Amino acid sequence: MNFSLLSTMLMALSSVCLFFVGYAQQFSGSVAVSALFAFGDSILDTGNNNNLNTLSKCNFFPYGRNFIGGKATGRFGNGRVFSDMIAEGLNVKKLLPAYRDPNLSKNDLPTGVCFASGGSGLDERTARSQGVIWVPDQVKDFKEYIMKLNGVVRDKRKVNAIISNAVYLISAGNNDLAITYPTLMAQYTVSTYTDLLVTWTDNLLKSLYAMGARKFAVLGTLPLGCLPGARHTGGNFGNICLVPINQVAAIFNQKLSAKLNNLHTILPGAKFVYVDMYNPLLNLINNPRASGFIDVADGCCCMPTSPVPCPDASQYVFWDFAHPSEKSYMTIAPKIIEGIKKNLA
Taking the C-alpha atoms of residue 192 and residue 197, their distance in angstroms, rounded to an integer, is 9
> Could you tell me which residues come within 8 angstroms of residue 47 by beta carbon, excluding any fewer than 6 positions away?
59, 73, 74, 75, 97, 98, 100, 101, 114
Closest C-alpha among 158, 135, 159 to residue 145: 159
Question: Is the C-alpha dihedral spanning 84, 86, 89, 91 positive or negative?
Answer: negative
Taking the C-alpha atoms of residue 222 and residue 335, their distance in angstroms, rounded to an integer, is 16
> Could you tell me which residues come within 8 angstroms of residue 37 by beta carbon, excluding any fewer than 6 positions away?
112, 113, 114, 115, 142, 166, 167, 168, 169, 213
Question: Active-site residue among 7, 42, 56, 117?
Answer: 42
Instruction: Indicate if 42 belongs to the active site.
Output: yes
* 153-176 burial: b if 16+ Cβ within 10 Å, else e: beeeebbebbbebbbbbbbbbbbb
Amino acid at position 325, single letter: S
Instruction: Indicate if 14 belongs to the active site.
Output: no
- Residues constituting the chain: 345
- Give the distance from CA 70 to its chain's centroid: 22
- Read off φ and ψ for residue 331, nearest 5 degrees: -75, -40
The full DSSP string for 191-226 is HHHHHHHHHHHHHHHHHHHHTT--EEEEE----GGG
The full DSSP string for 228-283 is HHHHTSTT-TT----HHHHHHHHHHHHHHHHHHHHHTTTSTT-EEEEE--HHHHHH
Closest C-alpha among 10, 67, 54, 3 to residue 322: 10
Question: Active-site residue among 45, 323, 325, 328?
Answer: 323
Instruction: Indicate if 323 belongs to the active site.
Output: yes
Question: Active-site residue among 84, 123, 176, 320?
Answer: 320
Taking the C-alpha atoms of residue 59 and residue 74, their distance in angstroms, rounded to an integer, is 4
Give catalytic residues, as residue numbers: 42, 320, 323
